[in-house]
């Protein structure tokens, strides 16, 4: 009788732990409401063993620099952080020095100096008002956290950048607004940023809008979560540790209960 109920508890525990593992591993989430759904792209950084594609990130940085940085800041990223995506100190120094920042000299005057690797990415506008004034009232948000800030962020960003189509005839598009099939409400204040060969990639990759959207998304996904690779590696180590621990506890339990199990009463 006693043994039987232990078995039942055991079966229950195994069932519950399997359920929890599947739940954690598949990153199961309960989607709510009816949202616009975006084409699901294959990202090297999704899944439990995901890592970033360095070449794609570097191309993405080029797209950000040559296209997006005219309107969008990236103020949470420092130039020296680019080391993580494969640039060396000299390259970072040169990259930073293309920008200027304000500083105060010994006489207390505001002067400009070239940006250093320790500076954060210089934003295109000094404040929100000037950003709005230059963009017909619409505010181009800082892109540092954009991939994390939107649900299904990477697919959303990719879809948004490639989602400019002709507006249906019954839809009025006011001046300074553009029609995008993936933007909520479809009218966006950002003109289409990506066109065929909009940049000339340093590594010779053909710069189609699709390619540029993928690359800039890979770069911005990293900017939003630079510790992603480390987090996933830790996760795998933790799961392996828990598996070993489960086995150990199972065999320890067997050994401890053996004398009682073998008592034929
Ligand atoms: C000419 C200026 C300009 C350029 C260049 C530009 N954007 Fe924008 N972007 C804007 C403006 C303005 C908005 C705000 C739109 C609105 O509120 O309707 C915006 C909004 C966005 C949004 C926010 C959408 C949301 O969900 O709120 C994202 C993401 C974005 N841009 C990404 C990019 C990327 C990536 C690039 C480079 C490939 C880029 N933009 C290039 C002006 C620009």
Nearest atom in ligand 1 to 183's CA: 26
pLDDT digits (tens, 9 = 90+) for 16-52: 878 777 766 665 555 444 567 899 999 999 998 999 9
User: Across the strands, what pairs with 191?
Assistant: none
Minimum CA distance residue for ligand 1 atom 6:
68
Nearest atom in ligand 1 to 187's CA: 18
Query: How many A from CA of 139 to the centre of ligand 1?
Result: 8
Query: How many A from CA of 79 to the centre of ligand 1?
Result: 22
Domain regions of the chain by residue span: 1-30, 32-73+143-226, 232-265
What local confidence, expressed as pLDDT, does residue 246 receive? 98
Minimum CA distance residue for ligand 1 atom 19:
140
State pTM to two decimals.
0.85
Q: How far apart are CA 10 and CA 16, in angstroms?
A: 10
Query: How many A from CA of 189 to the centre of ligand 1?
Result: 8
Q: Does the structural domain 32-73+143-226 have CATH classification 3.30.499.10?
A: no
User: Across the strands, what pairs with 188?
Assistant: 178
Between helix 209-224 and helix 153-161 the angle, nearest 10°, is: 150
Work out the pLDDT band at 10, boundaries 50, 70, 90. Answer: confident
pLDDT digits (tens, 9 = 90+) for 192-235: 999 999 999 999 999 999 999 999 999 999 999 999 999 999 99
Pocket test for ligand 1, best of 35, 123, 156, 190 (most atoms within 8 A of CB): 190
What local confidence, expressed as pLDDT, does residue 170 receive? 92
């Amino acid at each position: 009788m006693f043994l039987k109920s232990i078995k039942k508890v055991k079966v229950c525990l195994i069932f519950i732990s399997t359920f929890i593992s599947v739940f954690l591993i598949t990153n199961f989430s309960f989607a709510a409401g009816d949202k616009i759904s975006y084409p699901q792209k294959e990202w090297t950084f999704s899944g439990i063993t995901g890592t970033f594609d360095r070449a794609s990130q570097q191309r993405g940085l080029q797209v950000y620099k040559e296209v997006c940085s005219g309107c969008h800041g990236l103020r949470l990223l420092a130039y020296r952080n680019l080391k993580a995506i494969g640039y060396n100190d000299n390259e970072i120094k040169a990259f930073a020095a293309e920008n200027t920042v304000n500083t105060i000299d010994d006489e207390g005057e505001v002067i400009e100096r070239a940006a250093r690797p320790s500076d954060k990415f210089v934003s295109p506008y000094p404040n929100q008002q000037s950003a709005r004034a230059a963009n017909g009232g619409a505010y181009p948000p800082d892109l540092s956290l954009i991939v994390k800030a939107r649900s299904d962020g990477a697919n959303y960003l990719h879809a948004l950048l490639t989602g400019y189509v002709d507006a249906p005839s019954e839809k009025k598009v006011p001046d300074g607004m553009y029609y995008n099939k993936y933007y909520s409400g479809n009218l966006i204040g950002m003109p289409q940023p990506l066109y065929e060969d909009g940049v000339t990639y340093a590594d010779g990759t053909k710069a189609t809008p699709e390619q540029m959207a993928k690359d800039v998304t890979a770069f911005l996904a990293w900017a939003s979560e630079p510790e992603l690779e480390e987090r996933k590696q830790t996760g795998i180590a933790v799961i392996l540790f828990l598996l070993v621990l489960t086995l150990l506890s199972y065999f320890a339990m067997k050994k401890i209960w053996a004398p009682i199990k073998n008592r034929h009463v």
